[in-house]
Chains A and B, each alone.
Chain A
């Protein structure tokens, strides 16, 4: 389990992950915030559907893909959290525009 270093300070930010409220610090990447919050798997792969979580934290491995505010396949490690962001797990390959979205509920 990952824990924040005790000296971390900053403005509190709140965003939604799969509809649940998550607390983060301003300046966190979405990936860091999800790891700190113990979110577990943040996507499933298009090929086998197996669970994945953030890995490289520097934009090259594409393991941390999530859907942010309705846009699929965003790299969570390269995007800073913002108040009110709506983040969801990326489930496999995104649907094409105009297709019905799979409902996560």
Chain B
């Protein structure tokens, strides 16, 4: 039996590591349990966007939480650099969602209208650009591009450096990191909890379950029902090229080195992370419609990873009522929300009043009986 920590964080991905880092910054002793190389690891397969536009359509609390995290990101990047020297390569120069055809254009326009004047979200500064405006930013778009929605808030990081910086920063503050610690059991242990893993048992005053898709069964052990399901995305990486896409797009980004990354596909494929060539072809076809000049670009790498999706796409945060001190944290935007998780959510875990503060993100919203 190891020494007890104040908090055990189950999960070493971007959500777990951000929470662990935030807790360590508050002075708490933390043990981070990482599943190891068998984990699904959305944190190593994602696109790295710090994305605001369109997030929270249907839940203004999520829109403002996203905006809050984005606002915190610059100072968060500085904090991480101060922690272990890691530069997360944060850029927040705005982003575009290109529209192919009239229907796409109207859909984005409608989304902007729906999200207009929602409480607490901040300035309504996402705008529609017509084709002529987009051409000025992206001279190589194809004839089917009708315009784009633009938000000055959107940006991106290097997600692998972000993960490394969170791990390094947490450990620099004394957090203990344990790899290969697949969790088998979470039990009440006196005032705190005992977590049994493949590499031994760990004791902690509180336990935070931030294990991505595994929250579905781990949170059951503390009396919570967390209905998260996998959603598969693919990413394609091209050879290095001359500048084709000088702006950040929701589905494409060209790095300083010239490679272009494409993503933003959705697929229900259970827990399989195999590559689906048909899906790759679909992404490629859509990219060529946006940028015909890319039809001869060579793809040098592809992969797929699983998003952690709730029924409505919004986060699920909850402290167990039956086992107070046990928390479940799930979301699909582990990159975008990392700053908020570290700087704003973690302190609430230590202070109390968690369920009041994050009432909007309670899983109880999925139990509401349909109106008779």
Chain A residues packing against B (C-beta within 8 Å): 46-47, 62, 65, 73, 93-99
A-B contact pairs, 25 of them (CB 8 A): A46-B257, A46-B258, A47-B257, A62-B300, A65-B239, A73-B239, A73-B298, A93-B239, A93-B240, A93-B241, A93-B242, A93-B258, A94-B239, A94-B241, A94-B242, A95-B242, A96-B140, A96-B241, A96-B242, A96-B244, A96-B293, A97-B293, A97-B296, A98-B293, A99-B242
List chain B residues, Cβ under 8 A from A46.
240, 257-258
CB-nearest residue of chain B to A73:
B239
- Given A62-B300, A73-B239, A96-B293, 4 further pairs, Cβ under 8 A: A46-B240, A46-B257, A46-B258, A97-B293
Shortest CB-to-CB span from B336 to chain A, Å, is 29
From A47, A62, A73, residue with most partner B Cβ within 10 Å: A73
List chain B residues, Cβ under 8 A from A93.
239-242, 258
From A62, A93, A95, residue with most partner B Cβ within 10 Å: A93
List chain A residues, Cβ under 8 A from B293.
96-98
CA distance A46 to B140 in the complex (A): 21
Shortest CB-to-CB span from A34 to chain B, Å, is 19
From A47, A94, A98, A99, residue with most partner B Cβ within 10 Å: A94
In terms of DSSP, what is the predominant structure of the interface of chain A?
A: loop
Shortest CB-to-CB span from A7 to chain B, Å, is 35
Interface residues of B in 130-155 (CB under 8 A from A): 140
Shortest CB-to-CB span from A94 to chain B, Å, is 7
List chain A residues, Cβ under 8 A from B241.
93-94, 96
CA distance A47 to B300 in the complex (A): 18
List chain A residues, Cβ under 8 A from B258.
46, 93
List chain B residues, Cβ under 8 A from A94.
239, 241-242
Chain B residues packing against A (C-beta within 8 Å): 140, 239-242, 244, 257-258, 293, 296, 298, 300
CA distance A95 to B244 in the complex (A): 10
List chain B residues, Cβ under 8 A from A96.
140, 241-242, 244, 293
Shortest CB-to-CB span from A43 to chain B, Å, is 11
CA distance A97 to B244 in the complex (A): 11
The 9 closest A-B pairs by CB, nearest first: A73-B239, A93-B240, A46-B240, A93-B258, A46-B258, A93-B242, A96-B242, A93-B241, A96-B293
List chain B residues, Cβ under 8 A from A62.
300
Shortest CB-to-CB span from B292 to chain A, Å, is 9
CA distance A73 to B296 in the complex (A): 11
CA distance A98 to B257 in the complex (A): 22
List chain A residues, Cβ under 8 A from B300.
62
List chain A residues, Cβ under 8 A from B298.
73
CA distance A17 to B241 in the complex (A): 23
Shortest CB-to-CB span from B49 to chain A, Å, is 24
Shortest CB-to-CB span from A44 to chain B, Å, is 12
From B240, B257, B293, B296, residue with most partner A Cβ within 10 Å: B240
List chain B residues, Cβ under 8 A from A97.
293, 296
CB-nearest residue of chain A to B257:
A47
List chain A residues, Cβ under 8 A from B296.
97
List chain A residues, Cβ under 8 A from B242.
93-96, 99
CA distance A59 to B300 in the complex (A): 10
From B140, B244, B293, residue with most partner A Cβ within 10 Å: B293
List chain A residues, Cβ under 8 A from B140.
96
Shortest CB-to-CB span from B87 to chain A, Å, is 17
Shortest CB-to-CB span from B220 to chain A, Å, is 42
CA distance A62 to B239 in the complex (A): 9
CB-nearest residue of chain A to B295:
A97
List chain B residues, Cβ under 8 A from A95.
242
CA distance A93 to B242 in the complex (A): 6
Shortest CB-to-CB span from B286 to chain A, Å, is 19
List chain A residues, Cβ under 8 A from B257.
46-47
CB-nearest residue of chain B to A65:
B239
CA distance A96 to B139 in the complex (A): 13
List chain B residues, Cβ under 8 A from A99.
242
Shortest CB-to-CB span from A76 to chain B, Å, is 14
CA distance A73 to B259 in the complex (A): 12
CA distance A97 to B140 in the complex (A): 11
CB-nearest residue of chain B to A71:
B296
CB-nearest residue of chain A to B239:
A73
CA distance A99 to B258 in the complex (A): 17
